[in-house]
Amino acid sequence: MKHRALWKLAAIVVILLVAGIVPAPRDEVQLRIGSKKFTESVILGEVLRLLDEQAGLNVVHYREFGGTRIVFDALVAGEIDAYPEYTGTILGEILAGKEVTEAKSMRQELAKLGIGVSESLGFNNTYALALTHARADELGVKTISDLVRHPELQFALTHEFLDRADCWPALLKAYDLPQKKVVGVDHDIAYRQLISGEVDVIDVYSTDAVIRQADLVLLEDDRQVFPRYEAVWLFRKDTANRYPAFRQAIEQTERAIRETEMQALNDRVESRTASESETAALFLAEKLGVRLEVASTSYWRMIVRHTVEHLELVRQSLLPAIVVGVALGVFCQRWPSAGRGVLAGVGLLQTIPSLALLVLLLPVVAWLGYRSIGEGAVTAIVALFCYALMPIVRNTYTGLEAIPRGVVESATVLGLSQSSRLAEIELPIALPTILAGIRTAGVQCVGFATLGAIIGAGGLGQPILRGIRVSDPKLVLAGAIPAALLALALQVLLDLLEWGVVPRGLKRRQARSE
């Protein structure tokens, strides 16, 4: 009886923590395939996933979750077991600085890391510079050497292309290109800029579907700067030893795909004729005679799945943040000198750009021994947790500070202990302000969670990413609209909660002060 309020507070804390931390049940995953954020990589990932699945393995595919460095590091760290890569990238990028030039020594170097390399999948997807047909004719350029005569040309190159030692820096050196107007943009945006005439030259992969669709001209690499980019699998040798079916699946795809076939597959996805899964299944059926059922997921099922993932992210970050945030807020108010540091600290956390925070957290989470990418989504959850803290801490602090001194002192002289006073008097009086903080944190959290898709955490960011990649506004909306509705729903839910738990005495006061 005496400590009823304290028990109630303890119960709320336990419920929030348990509800927030308990992981959702999931099947044990045996194999994880990764892919980089372009269509071909995702299709190849799906091909391998379907083959493994057909062989009875429980396999997941982290689609489009990063560039070379992130995906390769994930492979070495054991976060994924295989992903499609290109020999040129391996030599020029992954093993750059190791003076490796031939296939054999490449295999040896990677073997040291426990990584195996498959045979070529059958096609060469090298880098190329592209112009629209019309522009190329107008300028009369056919080779990269011809570009030297047109220093005024505007280039839009992908960041990866600009940074890689075997791409832009190598081109500059070999051809002595004079162009000054060079900007770094996303692959998909560069295409659109090229077609709209905003830029003149972009970098492409030679199997890109859009080359055919948009009637682009690839400039001949007359000085042979670009290395060969044979598609291969990079895979973990220990996984291949553990699951012979996985090794067999890899072998099945070796020398199976020609360049034009790959272009056609890419085209199917990018023209939105079929999803990556359906395209991969079609290829398996036609070329390898592997028949399998690909559940053609409807839009609604896809949205529901991603919404559930999204809610998972919000649940696991927001609920613990409420407990920790309120506790920190109380701490700040009780010990103001130390509290200033805490307030500054959580404020600082919020100023870190969200994308940067995710990337900065990757190695920390991995170092702590958690999977930093993919299922479980620890990195995304930690990042969201950090963002959610600030409004909750601040509002708890403000709410407690705003209680008139006479009220607190009356409680003290009545003989309430510190803890009873907190549980029975101070927190309940500050409740409307605390709830407002939780509401802000929650709505922010729903928005930020869309970024989780970048590191394979799923959620409604996934369709947005895919939509941008295949220029499908419908897909972008399929992620953006439910995310907005979710934020709205959370807001309404918290409003209802406030209406339900805040006593009349406090509502009046609030209404009057507003």
Six-digit token pair at 298? Answer: 């409807």
Q: How far apart, in whole angstroms, are the C-alpha atoms of residue 267 and residue 313?
A: 33
- Verify binding: residue 499, another protein, rule CB under 8 A: no
Which has the closest alpha carbon to 391: 447, 449, 433, 360?
433
Q: How far apart, in whole angstroms, are the C-alpha atoms of residue 205 and residue 211?
A: 9
- Verify binding: residue 8, another protein, rule CB under 8 A: no
User: Between 26 and 512, whose beta carbon lies closer to another protein?
Assistant: 512
Return the residues of window 390-419 that contact another protein according to CB under 8 A: 404, 406-407, 409-416
Minimum CB separation of residue 437 from another protein in Å reads 18
Q: How far apart, in whole angstroms, are the C-alpha atoms of residue 413 and residue 475?
A: 62
Measured from the Cβ of residue 14, the count of other Cβ atoms closer than 10 Å reads 11
User: Between 2 and 112, whose beta carbon lies closer to another protein?
Assistant: 2
User: Between 409 and 495, whose beta carbon lies closer to another protein?
Assistant: 409
- Verify binding: residue 2, another protein, rule CB under 8 A: yes
3-state SS assignment for residue 365: helix
- Verify binding: residue 503, another protein, rule CB under 8 A: yes
Strand 31-34, strand 59-62: pairing: parallel
- Phi/psi for 423 (5° steps) reads -75, -35
Minimum CB separation of residue 353 from another protein in Å reads 40
User: Between 43 and 423, whose beta carbon lies closer to another protein?
Assistant: 423
Q: How far apart, in whole angstroms, are the C-alpha atoms of residue 443 and residue 450?
A: 12
Return the residues of window 368-387 that contact another protein according to CB under 8 A: none
Region near another protein per CB under 8 A, out of 215-223, 291-299, 334-342, 504-512: 504-512
Minimum CB separation of residue 401 from another protein in Å reads 15
What residue spans of 90-158 are helical by DSSP H? 103-112, 133-139
Measured from the Cβ of residue 349, the count of other Cβ atoms closer than 10 Å reads 15
Minimum CB separation of residue 405 from another protein in Å reads 9
Minimum CB separation of residue 391 from another protein in Å reads 22
Which has the closest alpha carbon to 307: 106, 480, 482?
482
CB 435 within 8 A of CB 497: yes
User: Between 77 and 408, whose beta carbon lies closer to another protein?
Assistant: 408
- Verify binding: residue 508, another protein, rule CB under 8 A: yes
- Verify binding: residue 25, another protein, rule CB under 8 A: no
User: Between 369 and 406, whose beta carbon lies closer to another protein?
Assistant: 406
CB 415 within 8 A of CB 2: no
Minimum CB separation of residue 414 from another protein in Å reads 5
Q: Classify each residue of 204-215 as buried b or exposed e, where b means 16 or more C-beta atoms within 10 Å of its C-beta.
A: bbbbbbbbeeee
Minimum CB separation of residue 429 from another protein in Å reads 5
Q: Using CB under 8 A as the criterion, what x/- string covers residues 416-435 for binding another protein?
A: x---x---xx--xx-x----
> Which residues form the interface with another protein (CB under 8 A)?
1-2, 404, 406-407, 409-416, 420, 424-425, 428-429, 431, 502-506, 508-509, 512
